[in-house]
Structure 1
Amino acid sequence: MHRIALIWLAALTPLTAQAQTAPAAPAADMVAVPVLDRAVAKGDLLSAGDFVEQEIPRAQLRAAPPLRDIVGMEASRSLAAGAIVRTSDVIRPQLVRRGEPITILLRNGGLSITTAGRALSNGAAGDFVRIVSLSTNRTLDGVVDGTGTVRVSPN
């Protein structure tokens, strides 16, 4: 019985060795992509200095956006060093954050009124957010106008 097992094992050994020494991907199948040079925390803004180019097999490339589409975006989750950043890993920079103080701005012609408020949701430039005015305690809807500033309509 042992003799049959040894013959069977000897027959499989070349196949196992062949599987372990699979040839590396040819240089033509490699593509240079930007990967993170350092770990990035959720909420950090990405800059061009955060990336280095690395050669990876074309088969591992899954719709990675060009570097110009990632720079200036905010990480929507923590990202490890060496990671390929995907579109789902980044969001537009959040200029207003839930619970933080904001300036409410109302413009009508030449008239401009500002008051203090608090954001009830996060928002990037141009996003609609709900806010509460601290002076009247009223909930309003507005558009994110800038960092910590929400514009409301005069109606």
Structure 2
Amino acid sequence: MLTAALLMLTAAAPQPANAPVPVLARAVERGDVLSSADFETARVAPAVARGALSPAEAAGQETTRRLSAGSPVRANDVAPPRMVRRGETVTIALISGALRITSPGRALADAGRGDPVRVLNLATNRTLEGVATSSGEVQIAAP
């Protein structure tokens, strides 16, 4: 009898309306950089919409995992884009005033712009600490 009353209350309770939320228009792979064109608006349940980023907030960010079409993008699904990727060949630059010395290297970790990263100098086989400055370039501090 208690179960029947509970079922009647549950059935009579108003269901929250679906809200229009920005969702992905296509599936995106891990490492893809999002743009505003990757989004469309769809009605989803409030629980699914919770924490969804707007297209403006997600644009220019790199996905941290594969995301399916029709799903909202949340803050933990994206990160600033990586300038340097682990195992990638990079240019190691030492800049002091007008002097610029470069050498080929290999990144030992992923890094975004301004992030510290260790690199292997391919000319000397030494490991150096530097900062990712642009795509494929790591700057080390002058001694």
Q: Which whole-Å CA distance do the structure 2 matches of 1:61 and 1:43 have between them?
A: 23
Instruction: Select the residue among 23, 30, 39 that pairs with 2:27.
Output: 39
- Name stretches of at least 5 consecutive residues in structure 2 with no aligned partner: none
**d(CA) in 2 for partners of 1:64 and 1:83?**
9
Query: Which has more helix, going by share of residues?
Result: 1
Determine whether 1:153 maps to 2:141. Answer: yes
Q: CA deviation at 1:141?
A: 0.6
Q: Calculate the aligned-residue CA RMSD, in Å.
A: 2.0
- Give the match for residue 87 of structure 2: 99
Q: Secondary structure at the match of 2:94?
A: strand
**Secondary structure in structure 2 of the residue aligned to 1:49:** helix
Distance 1:86 1:153 in 2: 36
Return the offset for 1:89.
0.5
Matched residue SS, 1:88: helix
Distance in 2 of aligned mates of 1:22 and 1:74: 41
Question: Aligned equivalents of 1:98 and 1:147: distance in 2?
Answer: 13
For residues 104 and 40 of structure 1, do their structure 2 counterparts lie closer, same or farther at Cα, with a shift above 3 Å needed? same
Q: Is the 8 A contact 2:53 2:72 kept in 1?
A: no
Question: Deviation string for 1:18-53 (max 9, x for gaps)?
Answer: 84x98654xxx4432110011101111111111101
Larger Rg: 1
CA distance, structure 2, for counterparts of residue 60 and residue 82 of structure 1? 11
User: Which whole-Å deviations, capped at 9, do the CAs of 1:73-111 have from their partners, x for residues lacking one?
Assistant: 111000001011000001111110001100001100110
Task: Give the structure 1 partner of residue 105 of structure 2.
Answer: 117
The 5 Å alignment of 1:3-152 reads: 19=11, 25=16, 29-152=17-140
TM-score normalised per structure 2: 0.87
Q: Identity of counterpart residues, as a percentage? A: 44
The unaligned stretches of length 5 or more in structure 1 are 1-7
Aligned mates of 2:81, 2:42 — CA distance in 1: 26
Structure 1 length normalisation: TM-score? Answer: 0.80
**How far does residue 60 in structure 1 lie from its aligned partner after superposition?**
3.4
C-alpha separation between the residues in 2 aligned to 1:84 and 1:131?
36
